[in-house]
């Protein structure tokens, strides 16, 4: 790579000008020099060139044509979640059920209507802690029910930690999928 940079420099061009035809040498060395030129700021960047070198475009104000652009743009707000779905969605997403209000605890969804279950990796990925956020109500009962479910599923003892003020339960290990299944079963 370094050799290519050396040969592309304009000071070396007289050496190779005798070896190649004159039209190839001039254009190649000039283009290589332009590639190496660095633009460190806006002021030193090249000015706008001839308009014929750029892509042609047309500004349209026709609403029929603008419809195709609007459907590609990102939405400004998150659309409301469906309240009930009889069929299973391809993504596996399920809304919260009305039975969840009977429980002594509640897990609120995120602003994108997703379950607030996350994995935190520390110590270069060696320690994995699953975090369940946005818990309201009796956090101690939720932790007991969740711990019982996880121990039944894994067949091992599970270590948990409760942050009552924040409304968060931490579970040692990677249990994201199991906790989301448990939340779906409970209707949370």
Is 7 within a domain? yes
Is 119 within a domain? yes
CATH number of 141's domain: 3.30.780.10
Q: Give CA–CA dist 51/57, Å, rounded.
A: 11
Residue 111 lies in domain: 98-186
Is 63 within a domain? no
Is 165 within a domain? yes
With contact defined as beta carbons under 8 Å apart, do 136 and 106 qualify? yes
Is 141 within a domain? yes
pTM, to two decimals = 0.61
31 and 104 within one domain: no
Is 65 within a domain? no
Q: Give CA–CA dist 180/188, Å, rounded.
A: 9
Is 62 within a domain? no
Q: Residues 30-89: pLDDT tens digits?
A: 554 555 555 566 666 677 777 777 788 788 888 888 888 888 888 888 888 877 767 778
List alpha helices for the chain, DSSP H: 2-8, 13-16, 22-36, 63-70, 139-154, 176-186
Among residues 159, 114, 116, the alpha carbon closest in space to that of 135 is found at 116
Domain count for the chain, please give it.
2
Q: Residues 90-143: pLDDT tens digits?
A: 888 888 888 888 999 999 999 989 999 999 999 998 999 999 999 999 999 999
Is 124 within a domain? yes
């Amino acid at each position: 790579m370094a050799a290519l940079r050396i040969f592309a420099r304009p000071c070396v061009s007289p050496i190779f000008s005798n070896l190649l035809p004159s039209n190839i040498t001039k254009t190649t060395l000039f283009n290589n020099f332009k590639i190496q030129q660095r633009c460190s700021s806006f002021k030193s960047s090249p000015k706008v060139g001839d308009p014929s070198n750029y892509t042609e475009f047309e500004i349209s104000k026709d609403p029929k044509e603008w419809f195709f652009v609007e459907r590609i743009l990102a939405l400004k707000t998150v659309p409301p979640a469906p309240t009930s779905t009889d069929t299973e969605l391809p993504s596996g997403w399920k809304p919260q059920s009305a039975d969840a209000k009977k429980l002594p605890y509640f897990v609120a969804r995120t602003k994108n209507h997703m379950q607030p279950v996350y994995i935190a990796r520390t110590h270069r990925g060696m320690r994995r802690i699953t975090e369940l956020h946005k818990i309201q109500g009796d956090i101690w009962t939720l932790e007991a029910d969740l711990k019982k479910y996880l121990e039944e599923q894994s067949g091992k003892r599970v270590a948990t930690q409760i942050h009552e003020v924040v409304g968060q339960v931490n579970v040692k290990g990677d249990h994201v999928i199991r906790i989301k299944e448990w939340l779906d079963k409970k209707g949370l």
